[in-house]
Structure 1
């Protein structure tokens, strides 16, 4: 399986996926820590992927999203953005709307 296919599987497996450096309990960079903090404030469950544990994923996610930095947030399969975008969307309320449970209808 290619790295791109692995990334697609990871993103498809959970509604909210954060590719980050480190883990939510022990972020390894300030930007990852800030993204974790926003998600913690929203109290939403998410899957965290430590890119430091897999160099193929670390480099592959940048190509997958065409976004040069980590962390990267995906919601329902769509790339949302990095730390600054996540913080801006949280401040405006847009992220809360995006992460609200979807109606089954």
Structure 2
């Protein structure tokens, strides 16, 4: 994994208030976890960007090191790593994601 991948990931996270690294696209998620993450964000009505890790091997491997998190999808809000789809679901069910986005994040 190159420093270039890390720099690209850092730039993407910085440029997008809400960013989901996922497998596939919002219209065609390529795994159930990515599909669940998209459903949660869509249900909350949040504006978000996505990065399809299947299109770039450097990003696919690099994001795991960038966040020190082994799985995809990965959600970032205002530059901070939030978690994967399971954490997103727990936060959604607890009302914590609503609160996170209500504090000014692209709601």
TM normalised by structure 1 equals 0.95
Equivalent of 2:72, from 52, 65, 70? 70
Equivalent of 1:6, from 8, 16, 20? 8
Where does structure 1 lack aligned partners over 5 or more consecutive residues?
none
Give 4+ residue runs of structure 1 displaced > 6 Å after superposition.
none
Give the distance between the partners of 2:56 and 2:32, measured in 1 at CA. 20
Equivalent of 1:40, from 39, 42, 46? 42
1:20 corresponds in structure 2 to: 22
TM normalised by structure 2 equals 0.93
Please state if 1:50 is matched with 2:42.
Answer: no
Shift of 1:11: 0.3
Q: Tell me the number of residue pairs that the alignment of Structure 1 and Structure 2 aligns.
A: 103
Where does structure 2 lack aligned partners over 5 or more consecutive residues?
none
Shift of 1:100: 1.6
Shift of 1:102: 2.3
Give the distance between the partners of 1:52 and 1:100, measured in 2 at CA. 31
Give the distance between the partners of 2:68 and 2:103, measured in 1 at CA. 27
Shift of 1:31: 0.2
Q: In angstroms, what is the RMSD of aligned CA positions?
A: 1.3
Shift of 1:101: 4.5
